[in-house]
Amino acid sequence: MDENIIEQYCDNLWMERGLSKNTLDSYKSDLKNLHLWLDKKSKNLLNCEREDLNIFLSYKMDQGNSVTSVIRFLSVIRGFYSWSKENNKIKYNPTDLLESPKIRRNLPINLSEDDVTRILNAPDIKTELGVRDKTILELLYATGLRISELTNLKITQINLTDGLVKVMGKGNKERIIPIGQNALNYIKIYLNKSRAKFIKTDNNEYLFLSNKGQPISRKSCWKMISSYAKINSQKKKISPHSLRHAFASHLLNHGADLRSVQMLLGHSSLSTTQIYTHVAKERLIQFHSKHHPRG
């Protein structure tokens, strides 16, 4: 029964909110995880109580899950039980009055402009693979794309004439982002001289392809960026998201307003973007201390 109602709930999310397959798969995994745990206690999703959920959240923490992961999981089950209550599948919502773990918001890894330049210059552009990787790095930093947005990018989403990329972000929200001349130049080089090497099948509408001719995966991008960071002796733990952080904080350092950065990043809430102001302020303080005669 639990698995059927999980499918019903996720089908509803897909129809009502247009969530991506990755997000829906994550929701299903979380709810099935809870279902299996409850099943061992001879309970199910529709007859559990708040205390059961409290115990389960503690269990998740004891397993080594981060506070952020547990809060995300709690958000998933809150949504599930709200939907269940609205659709008369339960009389009482067990997540009512359920407290969230407290989280300390960490600042994103702060890459300087020199750090980014070293990473972007790491690929060997004498090879087709190096040109592809260089283009990926340039595009990530130039646009602040999420890695899932980049790996799902199709050639038709790139406007080479106007230098724009059209992106379908979270919740199927569309946004259009300027690419910038450096990234645009490398996209053209990649399309004209390198991409053909990666084409192995007729299904080649995606911009970035793997050596097997498939759309490049998030995992491959993660490994690629980490390897180029290590080549340049980056001691920081660098990920695709690090370039998104750098995109936002460097824009703010150069005077961009917060609302514009929010639109470029595709954040639905300004509060999500505000974390980058702390990074920008920190850089400005360091700059002032280093260069001002009374710093």
Q: Is 167 helix (H, G, I), strand (E, B) or coil?
A: strand
Instruction: Name the nearest CA neighbour of 84 among 75, 93, 73.
Output: 93
Q: Decide if 294 is catalytic.
A: no
Looking at 170, 175, 197, 283, which residue is catalytic? 170
Q: Is 146 a catalytic residue?
A: yes
Q: For residues 279 and 173, what is the distance between their CA atoms, to the nearest angstrom?
A: 27
**Catalytic residue (choose from 35, 134, 244, 245):** 244
Find all residues with CB under 8 Å of 149, minimum gap 6, and list them.
Answer: 167, 168, 169
Annotated catalytic residue: which of 43, 85, 267, 278? 267
Active-site hit among 146, 195, 245, 250: 146
Known catalytic residue: 288?
A: no
Determine whether 241 is an active site residue: yes
How remote is the C-alpha of 11 from its chain's centroid?
A: 23
- Helices and strands in the chain, H and E counts: 13, 3
Distance CA 240, CA 228 (A): 11
Helix (H) or strand (E) holding 164: strand 164-168
Establish whether 283 is a catalytic residue. no
Residues, the chain: 295
The single residue of 27, 81, 206, 276 carrying the catalytic annotation is: 276
Q: Encoding tokens for residue 254?
A: 């150069």
Active site residue 245: no
- Give the neighbor-by-neighbor strand order of the sheet with 174-178: 158-159, 164-168, 174-178
Any idea what the Cα angle at residue 282 is, between residues 286 and 258, rounded to 5°? 135
H-type alpha helices, 144-257 = 147-151, 181-189, 218-231, 240-253
CA 160 to CA 207: how far, in whole Å? 13
Q: Which two tokens stand for residue 103?
A: 């989280």
Q: Which residues are catalytic?
A: 146, 170, 241, 244, 267, 276
